[in-house]
Amino acid sequence: MSANRIRGQVYVLGDNIDTDQIIPAQYLNLVPTIPEEYEKLGSYALCGVLDAPPYVPQGRTKTPYAIIVAGRNFGCGSSREHAPIAIGAAGGRAVVAESYARIFFRNCVATGELYPLETATRLVGEFVTGDEAEIDLDASTITNLRTGAVMALAPLGDARPVIDAGGLFEYARRTGMIASTAHPDVREAVPVNRVVED
């Protein structure tokens, strides 16, 4: 994914947005590794949120909103990795929330689909859906381009290079933790049961 800045429209949500709202259970049969099903999964992102405008317009597969601003406990509920994948498949790039369900945060990092950014400030009152915003990942800030207000975010720390790489497996390949045919400069891992002679 690799980005220093994320700019786009904001989609505002409240507290306790759960994984059933992010991607309802009936769509969990879609396999994200199949390109057509990945795209279809994105078209259903946040369709369980009933008190907000559609995240993905009817008949489309992509959202106009690159950034989600939410309250506390985003991604609570069941531990489905489809949740961050669905938002990422729809074109979402980042979620800015006061806090996350631990499994949702881990799934964002593991899949590399979204930057899960935290803020100590309640931002849901600082934005309205449709505002333009810019996130500076290096400075750990979000700017409301309508009002000019700049607000601090918590740094992602060690999670950022994993998300930048596109998720845990791609990060492991790039850093040589696991073998990769895509990167010939990374040496092949030696299977545990193979004897290596000097």
47 and 70 share a domain?
yes
Q: How many domains does the chain have?
A: 2
Angle between helix axes 82-90 and 35-43 (nearest 10 degrees) is 90
Beta bridge partners of 97: 118
178 and 104 share a domain?
no
With respect to residue 119, please indicate whether it lies within any of the assigned structural domains: yes
Q: Give the count of beta carbons closer than 10 Å to the beta carbon of residue 136.
A: 15
With respect to residue 50, please indicate whether it lies within any of the assigned structural domains: yes
Confidence class of residue 79 from pLDDT cuts 50, 70 and 90?
Answer: confident
Domain holding 179, by residue range, is 167-198
Structure tokens at 33: 């590794």
pLDDT digits (tens, 9 = 90+) for 151-171: 999 999 999 999 999 999 898
With respect to residue 160, please indicate whether it lies within any of the assigned structural domains: no
109 and 148 share a domain?
yes
Q: Are 134 and 6 in contact (CB under 8 A)?
A: yes
Q: Which amino acid is at 124?
A: V
With respect to residue 66, please indicate whether it lies within any of the assigned structural domains: yes
